[in-house]
Amino acid sequence: MTTLVAILAGGWVAAGDPLARAEHGWHTFKGGYGADNAKVNRLVSGLGSGRYDFYRVALDEFTAHPLVGIGADNFAQQYLARGREEQSPHYPHSVELRTLVQGGIVGLLIAVVGLGAALLAGGRVVLCARRRQSDPLSAAVAAAALSGFAYWAVHGSVDWFWEFAGLGAPAFALLGLACGLASRRPSGASPAAATGSAGGAGAGAVADGERRRAPSARLLRRVTIAAAVALALAATASLLAPWLSQRQLQNAAKIWPTAPRRAYSQLDDAARLNPLSDAPYLLAGSIALRFGDLARADHEFSLALKRDSGDAYATLERGAIASARGEQKLALVLLARTHRLSPHDELIQEVLAFVRKGERIDIDRLNRSILLKAHQLT
């Protein structure tokens, strides 16, 4: 007892007042990166990381779209418009919040049911093996696998683990391993065997019933197989088409300086393959700007905005093109909208102030500034 008291007293002295440390941790977590945090190692400067603001925006978006969420990978734009930190996170840095804000209640229920079933299957391996005192190896492997997945889930609750395939894939592989170890219940005796002792007449009646049910069972099996094949083909197409689109996008990015027409054609193909992505139009518009083709650039950026009306880059470029053409009213409207989409961007603020003075934007200079800023962020 004396040793325990001494250890607790030593820990109190070393750690300081736990209430004061907890209060400091909460303030740094809520306040984000402050000036004091920037001067020291962030790992020892408290809990300031911007996550409080990430979580705030995520919960606000869920409140605004509770049923089906805002869709996959749409958090970044919402944070640019509503965030307070000078950061541009693509995700809320939490698996649970990302599922909630992107998929809403429907997506959360699907995730809970799927993961719950997998965890239940893996947990049964451990519990059943311990109760029956049999197959201790399976129980140990399942427990270790579940522990590995649990660590990923806990860490992913406050970090962006989900985005790293090298971390998420092993975690779900461990969960699958635990599920695969689930023991199957021994099959019971067939109805015919159970009634065979009752006499030949009873066995014959059961056999007749089985024969009558056989066509229905075969039909159900065929329908199930057909549905499974259809779902597999649909899933393959949903993955293959975006992959092919990305390949076309990458090829166009490589060849546009020497073969712009071919690059435009590949970007059109990429847009058709993935009708949900605005990336092909954004790249096509950027290429057109490099060649000084303002008409085509404006058309491509307008197509990008039809797919994603909240894209600040496309809106900024359209505003710059309007300014370069002398269309000041349209330029001010587009640039003001760009500012609303990303109110903390200093470059957008400077461009808007420049146009409000009646000046025209030099698009080449603007794009060099955008590129320089992108390099500074990487």
Q: Which domains does the chain have, with CATH numbers?
A: 50-179 (no CATH), 278-377 (1.25.40.10)
Q: Quick one: pLDDT at residue 23?
A: 62
Q: Which uninterrupted H or E stretch holds 63? A: helix 51-64
Q: 192 pLDDT exceeds 90?
A: no
How would you label 199-228 residue by residue, b for 16+ Cβ within 10 Å and e otherwise?
Answer: eeeebeebeeeeeeeeeeeeeeeeeeeeee
Q: Which of 260, 262, 269 is nearest to 291 (CA)?
A: 260
Q: Quick one: pLDDT at residue 294?
A: 95
Burial (0-12, 13-18, 19+ Cβ within 10 Å), 298: buried
Residues 3-20: pLDDT tens digits?
Answer: 655 665 665 555 555 666
Asked whether the beta carbons of 90 and 107 are under 8 A apart, the reply is no
What six digits make up the tokens of 169? Answer: 């894939």
Q: Which has more pLDDT, 190 or 237?
A: 237
Burial (0-12, 13-18, 19+ Cβ within 10 Å), 276: exposed
Which residue reads 């406050």 in tokens?
158
What whole-number distance in Å separates Cα of residue 47 and Cα of residue 157? 15
What is the helix, strand, coil percentage profile of the chain, to 5?
A: 75, 0, 25
| Close Cβ partners of 317 (under 8 Å, ≥ 6 residues apart) | 285, 286, 289, 297, 301, 363
Asked whether the beta carbons of 75 and 90 are under 8 A apart, the reply is yes
Q: 321 pLDDT exceeds 90?
A: yes
**pTM, rounded to two decimals:** 0.67
User: How big is the chain, counted in residues?
Assistant: 378
Q: Quick one: pLDDT at residue 126?
A: 84
Q: Quick one: pLDDT at residue 15?
A: 55
Range with the lowest mean pLDDT among 25-29, 110-114, 236-240, 354-358?
A: 25-29
Asked whether the beta carbons of 32 and 49 are under 8 A apart, the reply is yes
- Please tell me what DSSP assigns to residue 198: T
Q: 328 pLDDT exceeds 90?
A: yes
- Please tell me what DSSP assigns to residue 91: S
What whole-number distance in Å separates Cα of residue 335 and Cα of residue 355? 9
Q: CA dihedral in degrees (262, 263, 269, 272; nearest 10)? A: -140
Residues 363-377: pLDDT tens digits?
Answer: 999 988 888 876 654
Q: Quick one: pLDDT at residue 198?
A: 47
Q: 265 pLDDT exceeds 50?
A: yes
- Centre a 10 Å sphere on the Cβ of residue 279 and count the other Cβ atoms it contains: 17
Q: 43 pLDDT exceeds 70?
A: no
Alpha helices by DSSP H, listed for 291-325, are 294-307, 312-324
Mean pLDDT of the chain: 82
Q: Quick one: pLDDT at residue 28?
A: 64
Residues 205-232: pLDDT tens digits?
Answer: 555 555 556 677 788 888 889 998 998 8
Which residue reads 């159970």 in tokens?
194
- Please tell me what DSSP assigns to residue 161: G
